[in-house]
Structure 1
């Protein structure tokens, strides 16, 4: 019981080090970061876990799985040279022909996403993002693909800067600029939403991230 009281006392002492403003800024940072980061993730590419393959690509993958020539030949007999197949189609065929040999698993492993695939997808835009900037936004005076990539980077890194309080003012000013751009050139009818975003970002831009941030730790370290 005494240990619990001691723990609560330490937590209370720690909490009293920060002001109401610090907690309010932390709330604004988390809320603003959530809005923009989620928006950025909708622009990111997704890993195709079931790609479509030509027959020669299927055979190459089967051989890459170090399968016996007889296994490769048996699966090839069930394929039409004029058709294309999804990885899942070949997995189903291999499972039917060799249910207990692990052939399907070995083939499917050839298409398991690597760490590099995840990194590439995280930093790449999807096709719909380019179409969004070109068709819906009507931004044809700047390369839509460049604009989409720029938006993805901004909505990925600036919210993280705000959330963790690393250059939070810079991150907030960057998102304020993006909000103004969207309001003026993209969706002028969404003033109510953009005004709310602006209201959340402006205190961070003017006051910084507060004491509950890495910015504050860096400032203390310099002193």
Structure 2
């Protein structure tokens, strides 16, 4: 049975749809919660896992002092990429991988990206085994930070409307996506409510309605990505 090690950073950022799809495929999911004090291993070797998934979170990729498990998570990503093991970083995971491999992450000078944004593949992305054929698909975004400098040797597979990386390939079998292929409308609603404890604004309700309306298109787009990632497992 295939096994994935999953680093989850907070309760409101779960595997969600990715977990559903992988569990249906018979994959064993070993979820490590650094925020709960569970130790993050510095390498996959010896963990019994065939691949690594690093999820999103509200903290920044450079906030190791406040969230100390980010340091071993970066070490884990770095070692996995160098060994050619399958890695998928989602939002914060994508940013952590970028920092771990020599890139730079910070606040997007053009502001927050939130809601549905189509995936805009580059020529490299159009031939990528994970993203090929998914150009134009809607993708959920909820981020203030972006990759400002791409790590040496990484390929930009997709770009946001402002030109910032929307997806990167770090190595033979390692990817990062700034968007959230795992996120259902229910999870997205939880994020909005966490930010607005006094109630959603009209703008919040509008963006949430667009994500809810895109439910089936989102599932149709990102279930193939989940399946394709499994084909990269040894």
Task: Compute the TM-score of the two structures, normalised by the length of structure 2.
Answer: 0.22
Structure possessing the higher radius of gyration over alpha carbons:
1
Task: Looking at secondary structure, tell me which structure has more strand per residue.
Answer: 2
Structure of higher RCO (CA pairs closer than 8 Å, 6+ residues apart): 1
Task: Looking at secondary structure, tell me which structure has more helix per residue.
Answer: 1
